[in-house]
Chains A and B, each alone.
Chain A
Amino acid sequence: MTVQAVIEQEKLAQFEAKIENEIKIEPNDWMPEDYRKHLIRQISQHAHSEVIGMQPEGNWITRAPSLRSKKILLAKIQDEGGHGLYLYAAAETLGVSREQFISWLHEGKAKYASVFNYPTLNWADIGAIGWLVDGAAITNQVSLQRTSYGPYSRAMVRICKEESFHQRQGYEIMWRMMEGTKDQQRMAQDALNRWWWPSLMMFGPHDTDSPRSEKAIQWKIKRESNDRLREKFINKTIPQAELIGLKVPDPELRLNEDGTYQHGDINWDEFYAVINGNGPCNKQRLQHHIKAHQDGAWVRETAAIHQQKMNNHGKH
């Protein structure tokens, strides 16, 4: 064994000891290349999801039906954009720039949460996104607060605080609509029908079909399995739906004796179709982001040139 190999082995042993002892890995610490790659992929995907998620919600800002709901929605979207910023910053500590992350997104090399490839068709969709999509995200993110990479973990702690507000605000929209007119109830049920299954899919494939999960759990990037998190979400959400008179669109849904639920099969063909670019809004979402980025190129350029002028001016 070469000296170099011995050193590498020692570093790996130190890294694994930290993981074992729940000591966070920090940006300047040595880490296996695969660990770094996994984090770059996961954190940037998470950041892109926050940013792309601004589009389906933004679709209703100008049509929000009250000043209060408009303010809440605007503030929520602003929070999501802010989460995108924390996460890009966390991902940048791994040595990749935000500009590069955006290029990978535009080139189709990076993904974002598939759930945002569904359209928001009525006002209750804004409720359903807050309640279900943010609800599913929190279930995952609460467990990610304990993730082994320090910057990611700290970003998650901040994000979780805000997401729990969003989930309550989303549920409040649904609750108000179910208390309202027949039309409002119809819209709320319609939104649940369309968002229920995509929300369950957010947790990813079954554990048996999730190739990257094993390593991620071993490195404590991921703290709980897809199926376990999905079950937690279902058990928490179904009583909430029933409480306000909404019917979960799953004819095979059964309440187990231990208070948990048994659900019908998830349509994995649809899941993979959307992941592979063939959902209802994949092209629209990506095109929108690309267009905004391209339309803004001259603004970023003039800001940079102006800054340069100011710096040069300062030197004279």
Chain B
Amino acid sequence: MEHKEKFYLQIADNALILSHRLSEYCSNAPFLEEDLANTNVALDLIGLAESVYTELASQKGTGTADDYAYRRTEEQFFNCTMTELDYPDFAHLMVRQFFMDNFHFHFFSELVHSKDEFLSALALKSIKEVTYHLRRSSEWIIRMGDGTEEAHQRMIAAIERMWSHHEELFTPSEADLEMLNNNVAPNLSRIKELCMQKVQEIFYFAKLAVPETIPNAYQGKKGIHTEQMGHILSEMQFLPGKYPEAVW
């Protein structure tokens, strides 16, 4: 696979798998407004993934966006593993969201300057949405960190779980490096600096400690996922997999 295609897929797959996790939370939120907000973010992310898949299909002159979502196997997905993780409570859901929103915000802010016209336009459009996502998840981090003692404890547990996947976001794949050399991709070291500043700022207000960096142990960008990824795909791809001839 070409590095460019893989770089596109890293972006789209993060969005698709994260939206899957958010959308399964529908009707489970602590109150109705929050249920709607979650669904809204899930919708934005599906839209993001779909536009990248559509562009890829059009550049290759074959297939459709749905083929990318529904007809690839686990090792052909290049999302970071944090997006796949299940979540025992709202704290886990929102800590993951904050880390991903933060990453997306800074990543897209830089990607605007990409030499790749499609990605630059995509980034410009996405920033508007992601700015809102990040504001929302940041506010929740503060409410939970600096609210009740129970919420604070839940936050500590959630941060511990998600933090071990945080470094993966900034660990460059071959595609990241190649696209950086071609002035298509942002420099992930720079993105990490910006993300860490935001984590420190929000955690300060939330009265939460920023953990020490944990070296990356995950390789989602190489198509090596957690055990949960197979379950996500078997659920998501169930109908097209079972009825391959059907058009829905």
Known: A71-B47, A75-B43, A84-B32. A302 touches B148 (CB 8 A): yes
A143 → B minimal CB distance (Å): 26
Is B26's CB under 8 angstroms from A58's CB?
yes
B107 → A minimal CB distance (Å): 22
Annotate B229-248 by CB proximity to A: 1 below 8 A, 0 otherwise: 00000011011100101111
Known: A67-B49, A302-B143. A77 touches B39 (CB 8 A): yes
B159 within 8 A of A: no
Q: Which residue of A lies closest to B24 (CB)?
A: A62
Is A302's CB under 8 angstroms from B147's CB?
yes
Interface size class of B (residues with CB under 8 A): 35 or more
A50 to B27, CA, bound (A): 11
Is B248's CB under 8 angstroms from A123's CB?
yes
Known: A61-B23, A296-B29. A71 touches B46 (CB 8 A): yes
A39 to B47, CA, bound (A): 40
A85 to B248, CA, bound (A): 31
B20 within 8 A of A: yes
A65 to B148, CA, bound (A): 41
B69 within 8 A of A: yes
A209 → B minimal CB distance (Å): 33
B89 within 8 A of A: yes
Report which of A66, A85, A299 forms a contact with B66, defined as CB distance below 8 A. A66
Across the A-B interface, the 3 shortest Cβ-Cβ residue pairs: A296-B30, A302-B147, A302-B151
Question: B interface vs A, CB < 8 Å?
Answer: 20, 23-24, 26-36, 39-40, 42-43, 46-47, 49-50, 53, 65-66, 69-70, 89-90, 142-144, 146-148, 150-151, 154, 235-236, 238-240, 243, 245-248
Question: A interface vs B, CB < 8 Å?
Answer: 51, 54-55, 58, 61-63, 65-71, 74-75, 77-78, 81-82, 84-85, 88, 123, 173, 176-177, 180-181, 183-184, 288-289, 292-293, 295-303, 305-307, 309
